[in-house]
Amino acid sequence: MRNDIPDKHTETDESQADLAAAVGVTRQTINAIERERYDPSLEMAFALADHFDCRSEDVFEPDD
């Protein structure tokens, strides 16, 4: 699953650690999601979208 997490947290001037703390996961989890090595749960996808004040579709899109 492709994502815009790196762009989103750069826009908000947050580090991976800041973002992880805000949504209740580890920095390593955020890194794995950003590198597309881990697909977040639906709950995590919604939490990240909520954190960025957008829809999950604005952050994640399925692979073709």
Give me the residue spans of the domains in the chain: 2-52
Cβ-contact 16, 34 below 8 angstroms: yes
Structure tokens at 42: 């639906």
Domain over 2-52 is classified CATH 1.10.260.40: yes
Please report the pLDDT score of residue 1 as a whole number: 87
Residue 37 identity (one-letter amino acid): R
pLDDT averages per 10-residue partition of the chain, 64 residues: 91 94 97 95 96 95 81
Cβ-contact 56, 46 below 8 angstroms: yes
pTM over 0.95: no
Q: Any long-range contacts for 23-29 (C-beta under 8 Å, 24+ apart)? A: 23/47, 23/48, 23/51
Nearest to 27 by CA among 14, 12, 11, 39: 14
